Chain A
C-alpha cells in the first residue's frame, strides 16, 4: 500500500475511532480530534502541487479483484489534485466551522463526524481512482454518506423526505453510470480510464459508444443536480449547514463535473457530447437562476444558485469539448479557453459558495431563522458576517474585483466564441447561447443582491426573530473569512492558480492538446464585448432588483405549473399506488385464482411448444390393438369421471371417485399389472373411506348440499389442460427415440436379484432407494396427521376440549 492509498483510506480508518473518542473524551468537542485529518491530507496535497505541475503524475496500484480486471489504482494528476485540494481544504474549514455550529451536548456529533469522514474518504476515492469500478464504489459511498448526512436530524420529516429523494435520484444515476462503465469495458476491455483513452480509436467507432455516453452522463447529471434532476438539491438543504456547505456546494455536487471532465478525453469531440453537456448545462444555468430569485429561504436560494452555477461549469465543459474536434491549431486554442473558464469557475464557486453557506448558517444560528422575509437590518449587528456575505455574493454576481468577475468574463468569452462555432450545426441556434448566458447572469445578479441586501439591510424586525442576534464567535467566522479572503486573492492574483493548478488540470482534461494552451487570466481585457455584457448585467440587474415587487408576480404563474418536484412526487406516488394496485389485482388470496394462473401458464407455454415443435407425426407410432374390454372400461371410466362435476351431492361425488378408482384397478388387471391392481384396490378403498370421514365431519352449520357452480373460466382452463396433457401423451408415445430399458430388468431379474416378480425386484432391489424414501414419505404423512389431530391448538383449555369430545362420542353411540 502506497502513501496515496493511505491518504484515501485515512478518513475511513479515523471514522472507526471517532465514536470511541466521543465516548471517552467528552470534555472536548469531538470535532477537534477530526480536524487534523483533513488538515494533514491538505498538507500532503499541497506538497504535491509542484510535482504535478511538472507533469509528473503519481500512480499506485493494488490488485483487488485481478481476475475481473479490478484494481485499486490511485492516480494523481492535475484534475485529481485540484479536486483533492478542494475536498481537503474546504473539508478542514467545514470541520472547524462545525465545531462551533454543532452543539456537543445536544447533538449526536460522533455520528456526524463518522458520516462526514466517510464522505470525505469516499470523495477522495472518487477523484483519485483510475479504475472505473472502484470509482463507482466510492461514488455510491458518497451517495450513501450524503443520505445519512441529509437525514442527520432524522426526527424531522422534511429531512427524511430530502434524504430519500436525493438517495433515489443519485442512486438511479449511479446505476446508469455503472451500466455505462460496463459498456466502456465491453468496448475497450479495460476498466482503467487511461487504458480506455489509449484504446480511443476502437471505442469511438463502436456502436455502444453513444449508449455508454448517455448512461455515464445520466450519472453525472443526477449527481451534479443538472436539469431536470436538480430537484433533490433544494430538499437536501434540510441537512445541517456545514453539510450543505461541504457536500452540496463544494464537493459532492461537483463529482458529476469531475466525471464529465475526467471522461472528456474519451467522449469529447463528438457532437452528441457537445450538445448534451453544453445544452443541459445552459438549461440548468437558466432554470437554476430563474428559480433562485423566487425563494425566500436563504439556503434554498443558495441551493438553486448552486444548481445554476453547476450548469454554468457544465456548459463550459461542453463548449470546451469542441476544442478536441479541431485538434491542434488556432481554432482549438479558442475553445480551450472554455475549459480554463470551467476549472477557474469551479474553484471560485467552491470558495464563494462555501463562504455563503457558512454565512447563511451563522445567520440561522444567531437569529433562529433563514427566512429572508423575517430578516433585515443585521448589518450593524453582525458587521463581519455582512462583510463576508458581501464579498461572497458580489463574487457570485460577477463583480470586480472578486474572482467571480474573472470567471464570468471568461464565460462570456466562451459563449461568444461558441456562437460562431461552425461545427455540429451550431450556426442555427448559436446565437441563443450568449443570450441565455447573459439572461442567466442578470438573474444571478438579482438573487445575489437579494441574499445580501434583504438579510443585512432594510428594517430590523426583532419581534419576528426567535433570538436576539449578535455577532458569531470567532471560530465560526474564521472559515468563511478564509474562503472570502481566497475570493479576493484569486480575484486579484488569478495567475497564482493558473500555472500551478489550472494548467495541470487542463492537461488531464485535454491530453491530446497538452502542448497547445497557455493559461493566462488577465484582469483587464480592454473594452471588449464581454465587459459591455457585464455592464449590462449590472445595469439591468440593479433595475430588476429595485422593481422586484412589481414583476415577482411572474413566479406565481410559471413555477407552479412547471414544478419538477410535483412531477417527482406524483411519479413516486403513482408508482407506489399502481404497484399496489397491480399486486392487489393478482395476489387476491384466492387459491382458485392462483390455480387459474398456474394452469393458464401451463397451457400457454406447453401449447405453444407443442404447436411450435410439430410433434404430431405418426410415422413411428407403435399402437396396440384395442380390445373390447378396454373400450367398455374406458366408456365406464369416462362416464364416471364426467359425472363427478355434475354430481348434486358430495356423497355421490365420493362414490363416483371411488368408481373411477376401481375402473383403474380393472385397467391394471387388463394391462397385466397385478401388483398395481392389488395396491390400487386397497389404496382406493382407504381413500374413499377417508373421504367419507371428511364428509361426515363437515361443520353442521351452513351445511348446504349444492352442486358446483358453473364457471366458464374453469371450464375453459380444465378443458385446455386436458387437451394439452392428452396431446403431450400422444406426442410422447409417437416419438420414441430410444428403446425401453425394461428389457434389462426382464432378463436380469432372476439372474441378478433372484426374483421372478420383476415389479417387486425393481422396487426393493434395482431401485430400492426410491422405495426407502417413499416409505419415509408415508411415515412423515402419518406423523403429520397424528400431530395435526393430537397436537392442534385451540382457544379452549385442554380439559374442556376433552370433555366435549367425550360427550360427542356418547351422543353418536
Chain B
C-alpha cells in the first residue's frame, strides 16, 4: 500500500497522535467521565489500524514492536494481580481503594487502585483487537 498516498500518510502522521491522546484521555477520564479502559483500548487500537491502513502492517510492527498476544497476557495478569493484591491487606478479592495525594506538578490528585485494574483492561483490549486484526490481515 506504500505507493505514494501522500495525503493519507501525512494526515495519518498528525491524526495518529490526536487519536492516541484522545484514547489516553478517555482512559484517564474513565473514573469520573465517560470513557475507561475498554473504550480507551479500542481507540488506541484504531489508531494502530489507521497506521496499518496508511502504511502497512510491517510499518506498524516496526513503529511499535510489540507482541500483542503478550500484551493481552500482560493486561490479564495486571487485572488479576490487582485483585490478588487485596489479599495482602486481608480484604476480599478485587477490593479497590482510593485516596487523595498532593503530587508535584499535579497538585491534589485522586489515585485509585481501580485505575490499575482499568489499565489491565486497556492493555488486554489493545492486545486482543490487534491480535485479531493482524492475524486476519496477515493471512490475506
Q: Are A and B associated in one complex? A: yes
A781 at the interface (CB under 8 A from B): yes
A782 to B136, CA, bound (A): 11
Interface assignment of A535: CB less than 8 Å from any CB of chain B: no
The answer on a CB contact under 8 Å between A778 and B31 is no
List the A side residues contacting B132 at CB < 8 Å: 781-782, 785-786
Residues on A with C-beta less than 8 A from B34 are: 674-675, 678, 757, 759
**Contact of B72 with A by CB under 8 A:** yes
Most buried by B among A690, A754, A776, A808: A754
B interface footprint on A640-660 (CB within 8 Å = 1, 0 otherwise): 000000000000000000000
- A572 proximal to B (CB < 8 A): no
Residues of A within 8 A of B89 (CB): none
Q: Interface SS of chain B: helix, strand, loop or mixed?
A: helix
Q: Which of chain A's residues 668-683 have a Cβ closer than 8 Å to chain B?
A: 674-675, 678-679, 682-683
Complex: chain A residue closest to B79, CB-CB: A772
A682 → chain B, closest Cβ, in Å?
4
B: interface residue count bin: 35 or more
Q: Would B121 and A754 count as touching, CB distance under 8 A?
A: no
Q: Do the beta carbons of B124 and A779 come within 8 Å of each other?
A: yes
- Chain A nearest CB, measured from B38 CB (Å): 6
Would you call A760 and B36 a contact (CB within 8 A)?
A: yes
User: A residues within 8 A CB of B37?
Assistant: 764
Q: Which of A679, A686, A755 has the most CB of B within 10 A?
A: A755
Choice from A674, A690, A755, A781 contacting B31 with Cβ under 8 Å? A755
CB distance from B72 to the nearest CB of A (A): 5
Complex Cα distance A54/B117, Å? 87
* Residue A783 is within 8 A (CB to CB) of chain B in the complex: yes
Q: Which of A683, A761, A782, A789 contacts B42 (CB 8 A)?
A: A683
User: Given A757-B35, A764-B118, do A775 and B124 touch, yes or no (CB 8 Å)?
Assistant: yes
A682 touches B112 (CB 8 A): no
Say yes or no: B121 contacts A764, CB within 8 Å. yes
Q: Is the CB of B121 within 8 A of A771?
A: yes
**A697 contacts the other chain (Cβ, under 8 Å)?**
yes
Q: Known interface pairs A764-B118, A782-B128. Does A757 touch B76 (Cβ–Cβ under 8 Å)? A: no
Contact B136 A757 (CB under 8 A): no
Q: Is the CB of A682 within 8 A of B98?
A: no
Q: Which of A754, A761, A769, A781 contacts B110 (CB 8 A)?
A: A754
Which chain A positions have C-beta within 8 A of B38? 679, 763
Q: B139 at the A/B interface (Cβ < 8 Å)?
A: yes
**A: number of interface residues (CB 8 Å):** 42
State which residues 72-111 of B face A: CB under 8 Å. 72-73, 75-76, 79-80, 83, 93-94, 96, 98, 110
Q: How far is the CA of A778 from the CA of B128 in the complex (A)?
A: 6
By beta carbon, the residue of chain A nearest B83 is A772
* Complex CA distance for A776 and B127, rounded to whole angstroms: 12
Query: Would B46 and A768 count as touching, CB distance under 8 A?
Result: no
Which A400-455 residues have a C-beta within 8 angstroms of B? none
B42 touches A775 (CB 8 A): no
Q: How far is the CA of A782 from the CA of B117 in the complex (A)?
A: 20
Docked-complex contact A769 and B114, CB < 8 angstroms:
no
Asked whether A790 is an interface residue with its Cβ less than 8 Å from the other chain, the reply is: yes
> With the chains together, A316 CA to B109 CA distance in Å?
101
Instruction: Choose from A685, A769, A772, A789 the contact partner of B139 (Cβ within 8 Å).
Output: A789
**Residues of chain B with a CB closer than 8 A to A582's CB:** none
In angstroms, how far is the closest chain B Cβ from the Cβ of A802? Answer: 11
Please judge, given known A-B contacts A756-B32, A757-B34, A768-B94, whether A775 and B69 are in contact too, CB under 8 Å.
no
Asked if A776 and B32 make an inter-chain contact with CB atoms under 8 angstroms apart, the answer reads no
Contact with B along A666-708 (1 / 0, CB 8 A): 0000000011001100110110001001000100000000000
Instruction: Say if the beta carbon of B140 comes within 8 Å of chain A.
Output: yes
Is A765 part of the binding interface, using a Cβ–Cβ cutoff of 8 Å?
yes
Shortest Cβ-Cβ A-B pairs, 5 listed: A754-B98, A674-B34, A755-B31, A756-B32, A782-B131
Q: A679-B42, A763-B36 are in contact. List 7 more A-B contacts (CB 8 A).
A: A685-B46, A754-B114, A765-B117, A769-B93, A775-B125, A779-B127, A805-B139
Residues in chain B within 8 A of chain A (CB atoms): 1, 26, 29-39, 42-43, 46, 69, 72-73, 75-76, 79-80, 83, 93-94, 96, 98, 110, 112, 114, 117-118, 120-121, 124-125, 127-129, 131-132, 135-136, 139-140
- 11 A–B pairs (Cβ distance < 8 Å), ordered by A: A674-B34, A678-B39, A682-B39, A753-B112, A757-B32, A760-B30, A764-B114, A778-B125, A782-B127, A789-B139, A790-B135
